[in-house]
């Protein structure tokens, strides 16, 4: 049972990356899946989340309008499309999942996640 992130890398400011979070050993049905990030010396922060059952989403103000979260339940995968990247987006990005009947994916930010990935590094150069 695991979550595996991929898609990180080095990109210039203004560029784009698409992160993937693949679940294995369990299905993402009835889950809230969240993307978090942690920059060096900073606390971990919630970036975006999605409720797998209905696709409802949330975005932090810092990424609203630039990032898009989506899911492919058939592939048991959640994506984070990141456009117009800025140097301040540089961080290790993690995905996490929480099986919940909550009506909002924000539950992933209030309760302990069931599973975490190991993270993927995103570096945005200026």
User: Per residue in 31-79, pLDDT tens?
Assistant: 999 999 999 999 999 999 999 999 999 999 999 999 999 999 899 999 9
Structure confidence by residue, pLDDT tens digits, 54-67: 999 999 999 999 99
Are 20 and 6 spatial neighbours (Cβ–Cβ below 8 Å)? Answer: yes
Query: Which percentage of the chain shows pLDDT scores above 70?
Result: 100
């Amino acid at each position: 049972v695991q979550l595996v992130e991929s898609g990180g890398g080095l990109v210039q400011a203004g560029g784009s990356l698409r992160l993937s979070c693949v679940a294995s050993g369990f299905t993402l049905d009835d889950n809230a899946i969240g993307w978090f990030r942690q920059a060096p010396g900073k606390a971990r922060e919630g970036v975006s989340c999605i409720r797998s059952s209905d696709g409802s989403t949330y975005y932090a103000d810092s990424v609203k309008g630039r990032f898009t979260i989506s899911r492919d339940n058939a592939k048991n995968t959640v994506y984070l499309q990141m456009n117009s990247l800025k140097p301040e987006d540089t961080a290790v990005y993690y995905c996490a999942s929480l099986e919940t009947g909550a009506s909002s994916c924000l539950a992933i930010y209030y309760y302990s996640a069931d599973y975490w990935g190991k993270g993927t590094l995103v570096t945005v150069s200026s």
